[in-house]
A and B are shown apart, each in its own frame.
Chain A
Amino acid sequence: MQETLAALAEPNRLRILELLRTGPQPVNDIGERLHIRQPQVSKHLRVLKEAGLVSVEARAQQRLYGLRPEPLRQLHAWLEGYRQLWEDRFDAMDELLEELQREEKSR
């Protein structure tokens, strides 16, 4: 999770992931489309790969980088689980507050 967040905390890496949603791409194309120099793209791809967010596939003479959504799903599930706990707490608090207000009125 920490690795996923760290990898995502760089805007260009996020842009690369967004681009890869359209399908696997070679380094050169990624650089051209996003106007990032190739050594930078390679550096970002290395971080993304270490975090398990992209995979590499050799096709013909090229290496294609593709999106691996699993870590993002995990991150989302983790955050959503915590949010849901608070949602449930607050729903219970809503009921409690209604009750307290009814009691005050009837006093």
Chain B
Amino acid sequence: MMQTHGSEAPRAGTTTTMDLEGDRALVITRAFRAPARLVFEAWTRAELVRRWWAPRSHGVEFVACDADVRVGGDYRYHLRHPRGDVIFYGTYREVEPTTRLVYTQCLEGHGDAAVVVTVTFTERAGVTEVVSREVYPSASVREAALASGMESGMRESLEQLDELLGSML
């Protein structure tokens, strides 16, 4: 929805697109001018994750970053923010090197309700398109959309909303 150049072919260096999908999913897409092998490494190797996951411009930095990248293995990203520490953690459910990852993501202090993240890495002509699909637990912003019973119309509606917003903001 909101933003999107979703139908375009992947191009490296294009902007990140974000779509609300269905009732509780959020899909983030971006293309990189690099082989999937390297993008997958950057996404999973702790010492590389430290380099991109906590953007300095957002005032956060890593205190610790650990990732045991295998099915059933855990990861833990400990970040420091001026307002306090934030710890993301979860477990890898599927690990298919260079093409696909599925893991849970929880935020410490916010209960056990996990977001399930599925990331796919698709390489074409030296460009790797990354699609990260976050599926939220029930009590979420997306649940409201489901409750409305307009699941299939959601995406289209939101595209209209985007146009509407574009003309109002």
The distance from the CB of A6 to the nearest CB of chain B, in whole angstroms, is 4
Q: Is the CB of B144 within 8 A of A2?
A: yes
Q: Is the interface of A mostly helix, strand, loop or mixed?
A: helix
Q: Which residues of A have CB within 8 Å of B26?
A: 82
Give the distance in Å from the alpha carbon of A74 to the alpha carbon of B136 in the complex.
20
* A97 at interface, CB cutoff 8 A: yes
Within the complex, which residue of B15, B143, B154, B167 is in contact with A21, where a contact is CB–CB below 8 Å?
A: B167
Q: Is the CB of A97 within 8 A of B34?
A: yes
Within the complex, which residue of B34, B48, B143 is in contact with A101, where a contact is CB–CB below 8 Å?
A: B34
Q: Is the CB of A11 within 8 A of B153?
A: yes
* B110 at interface, CB cutoff 8 A: no
* B55 at interface, CB cutoff 8 A: yes
Q: Which residues of B have CB within 8 Å of A97?
A: 32-34, 38-39, 42
* A107 at interface, CB cutoff 8 A: no
The distance from the CB of B40 to the nearest CB of chain A, in whole angstroms, is 11
Q: Which residues of B have CB within 8 Å of A85?
A: 55, 58
* A18 at interface, CB cutoff 8 A: yes
Q: Is the CB of A6 within 8 A of B58?
A: no
* A96 at interface, CB cutoff 8 A: yes
Q: Is the CB of A76 within 8 A of B42?
A: no
The distance from the CB of B88 to the nearest CB of chain A, in whole angstroms, is 13
Q: Give chain B's interface residue range (CB within 8 Å of chain A).
A: 35 or more
User: Chain B: which residue is nearest A92 at the CB level?
Assistant: B52
Q: Is the CB of B55 within 8 A of A9?
A: no
Q: Which residues of A have CB within 8 Å of B52?
A: 89-90, 92-93, 95-96
- Binary contact readout A76-107 vs B (1 if CB under 8 angstroms, 0 otherwise): 10011011011111111111111011000000
Give the distance in Å from the alpha carbon of A11 to the alpha carbon of B30 in the complex.
29
Q: Which residues of B have CB within 8 Å of A14?
A: 157, 160-161, 164
Q: Which residues of B have CB within 8 Å of A92?
A: 51-52, 55
Decide: A88 near B57, CB < 8 A? Known: A6-B148, A79-B18, A83-B18: yes
Q: Which residues of B have CB within 8 Å of A1?
A: 141
Segment 1-35 of A: residues with Cβ below 8 Å from B: 1-3, 5-6, 8-11, 14, 17-18, 21
Listed from nearest, the 3 A-B pairs whose CB atoms lie closest are A2-B144, A88-B55, A92-B52
Q: Can you list 13 residue pairs at the A/B interface with Cβ under 8 Å?
A: A2-B143, A11-B150, A11-B160, A14-B164, A18-B164, A21-B164, A82-B26, A83-B3, A88-B55, A88-B58, A90-B52, A94-B33, A97-B32
